[in-house]
Structure 1
C-alpha cells in the first residue's frame, strides 16, 4: 500500500471511530426499528382489514408524517439514516478488522449495500417531509413499466426479479444461520437477554427474507406476463398474500417477524458493534 493510500485509510479509520458518528448511527438503529414496527402494523392491517395503504417502508414513513411529533421523528430518522450510511461507507472502505479474506471482502460489499439502503430510506423520508406522496411501490411499478417497453427490457426486469429473489433467500439463510450475531457485542448482554435478542434477529431476518423472495418472484412473473402491477416490491408481495385465505396467516406471520426485526434493531442501538 502506498503512503498516500495508507494516510487516506488512516483518516477514514479515525472518522469511522468518531464518537458523534457512533451516537448518531446508534440513534439511526432506533429509527430503523420504529420504521419496521410501523411497517409490521400496516402489514397486519392489510392481512385482516384489507388496508390499501402502501405495505412497505414508504407506507411506514407516510404514517409518521401525519402529525408534528411524527414529522419531528422523521427528521431524526433522516439524520440517523444518513449517519448509518456514512458509517457503513467507512466500513466498506476500511473493513471491520482490516482483513482481506474472501469473507471480509463479502462483508465490505454488504456494507455498500447497507449504505445504499439507508440513503434510499433517507431520500424517501425527505420526500415525505416535503409533502410528496412518496411510494416505493409506485416508483417500482413505473420504472418496471418503462423498462418492459424498451428492447430487451423484459429480460432485464426478469433478471432484477431473480436478483431480488436471491437477496430474499440469502437474507432468510443469514437469519437462520445467525450470521448477524458476529456484529453484536454479545459479551455486554445480560445472560437473560442474549438469547431473546438473537431469536428476534433470526425471526426478523427470516421474515424479511421471505417477503423479499416473494417480491422477487412477483417481479419475474411481471416480466413473463408483461404485468407491471406485479412489480411493486414488498407492497405487491404482501398484498398478494392477503388475497388468499392461507396467505392471510402467512402474511400475519411475516408481519410478526418484521415487528421482531424492529425490536431487534432497537436492541442493536445498544449492542451493535459500531
Structure 2
C-alpha cells in the first residue's frame, strides 16, 4: 500500500503534470479577464453574462474554440489533481492544526478547479445550458430538501466569508508568499498591485454572491439567487452602481492578469 501511495505521489508531483497544472491558473485568469470585460460592458449599459459559464461560452465562440475548451479542461483537471495531491501527501511536517488548515485549503482548491473543469467539459461536449436559470433552479431544489434551508444559509455565509478572506488576503499581500516574485523592483511592484486590486475585486463579488444566496433563502425566493452575474447586475442597480461595477470589472481584469502571471511564478 505504501509503495502504491509513493508511486501516486511521484506521478502527481511529476514535471509534465506540473506544467499542465500551471496552465490551469492561466485558464482561470483568462475566464476572470473575460468576466471583467463583461462587467464593464454591463456598467456601460451593454449586455452579456458576467459569470464563469458566460466566459466559457465566449471562449468557445473564438476561432479554434473547441481546441481552447478541451485544452482548458485538461489544464483544470491537472490542477485539480495537483491540489488533491497536496491535500493528501503534503504539509506532513507542519504542526497538526496548521497541517489540517493547509490540507483543507488544498482540498477546497481541488474542488473549485474540478468544478471549473466540469463547466469546460459541459461546453466542450456541447451540453452547455442556461446557467442563470440553473442557479435559481438548484437553489429551489436545495430549499425544498430536508435541511435545505440551513444548508443554503451555510453555503451563502461560507461564500460571503470567502469573499472577505479574499479581500483581506489582497490588502495584506499574503498571496505573495505563494509566488517566486521577479528580481526586478518594477516587475515585483506590478505583480503586487495586480494581486491587491484583483483579490479585492474577487472578494467583493464573492461577498455579493454569498449575500444573494442568504437573502434568497431567508425570503424563500430562489429566483433571487442568480449567482455571480446576478450579483454584478444587483450592484449596477445601486446608487453610483455603474461606476462601482466598472471598478469591480477592472479589478477582475487585474485578477485575471495576476492569475496568468501566477501560472509562471507560482510555487508548486
Contact 1:16–1:87, Cα closer than 8 Å, also in 2: yes
TM-score (normalised: structure 1) = 0.90
For residues 30 and 151 of structure 1, what CA distance do their matches in structure 2 show?
39
The alignment status of 1:21 with 2:20, answered yes or no, reads no
CA RMSD of aligned residues (A): 1.9
TM-score (normalised: structure 2) = 0.92
Aligned partner (choices 204, 211, 214) of residue 217 of structure 1: 211
For residues 201 and 135 of structure 1, what CA distance do their matches in structure 2 show?
32
Aligned to 1:185: 180
Q: Which runs of 5+ in 1 are unaligned?
A: none
Q: Give runs of aligned pairs for residues 76-225 of structure 1, distance below 5 A.
A: 76-95=71-90, 98-186=93-181, 188-225=182-219
For residues 28 and 168 of structure 1, what CA distance do their matches in structure 2 show?
21
The alignment status of 1:233 with 2:227, answered yes or no, reads yes
Contact 1:124–1:134, Cα closer than 8 Å, also in 2: no
The alignment status of 1:35 with 2:17, answered yes or no, reads no
For residues 124 and 109 of structure 1, what CA distance do their matches in structure 2 show?
23
1:133-180 per-residue CA deviation (whole Å, 9 max, x = no partner) reads 334433321111112234543333222211211111111112221221
For residues 169 and 129 of structure 2, what CA distance do their matches in structure 1 show?
30
* Equivalenced residues, count: 268
For residues 237 and 192 of structure 1, what CA distance do their matches in structure 2 show?
35
Comparing 104-113 with 211-220, greater Cα deviation is found at: 104-113
Contact 1:32–1:77, Cα closer than 8 Å, also in 2: no
